[in-house]
Amino acid sequence: MRLRHRLLRFARDDRGSMAVEAMLILPILVWAYLATFVFFDGYRAQSINTKTAYTIGDILSRETNWVTPAYLDSLFALQQVLTQSDQPRSMRITVIRWNATARRYEVVWSRVRGSGAQQLVTNDLAKLAPFLPVMPAGESAILTETWVDYRPPASIIAPFTFRDFVVTRPRFASQLCWNDRNTGGTMATGIC
């Protein structure tokens, strides 16, 4: 009888239950706080990368002179400044044109900065066609792609790479021309 009485008293006793509940829920609260921070930071990084791609595309759309290797290097440096990331990054600039006769998009020129990306060729555009705008015959557009690796501040999610894809129409010139020469480029050395 005495044992039963002590067990019943122990079952009714609620002293210390808050401490036990706190110890049970604390890991979940810490994980939720970290997860919120990581997801917010991920969305912030993605937003910055998207804005960077739009900024670079807009800069190129206003260009009326040659795009040279030095010019592209400066845009790649600008990507570093805008993303403020110490993670690997890359950038691909491609000028495309709609060929109405062949009924396909064609690459006029494509250049890459950073690691991991390759220059686009006309056959690659078939996969991207659903994401490209409808264009009149002979019209050209600038395809700006940026990649930035993202490493979360806590291992709530695995690291991954943000890729942004922006199509911009040239604003002040009918096309954007590439020249491998930093100085003294002519139509003979350029690609338009």
Residue 77 CA to residue 114 CA, distance in Å, equals 10
SS3 track for 106-135: EEEEEEEEECCCCCCCHHHHHHHHHHCCCC
Q: What is the pLDDT along the chain (192 residues), one digit of tens a residue?
A: 788 888 888 777 777 677 778 888 999 999 899 889 998 988 999 999 999 999 999 999 999 888 999 999 999 999 999 998 888 899 999 999 999 898 899 999 999 999 888 999 999 998 998 999 999 988 899 999 999 999 988 888 888 899 999 999 998 877 788 887 777 666 666 787
Residue 92 CA to residue 125 CA, distance in Å, equals 14
Q: How many Å from the N-terminal Cα to the C-terminal Cα in the chain?
A: 98
pTM, rounded to two decimals: 0.80
**β-pairing verdict for 140-150 and 104-114:** unpaired
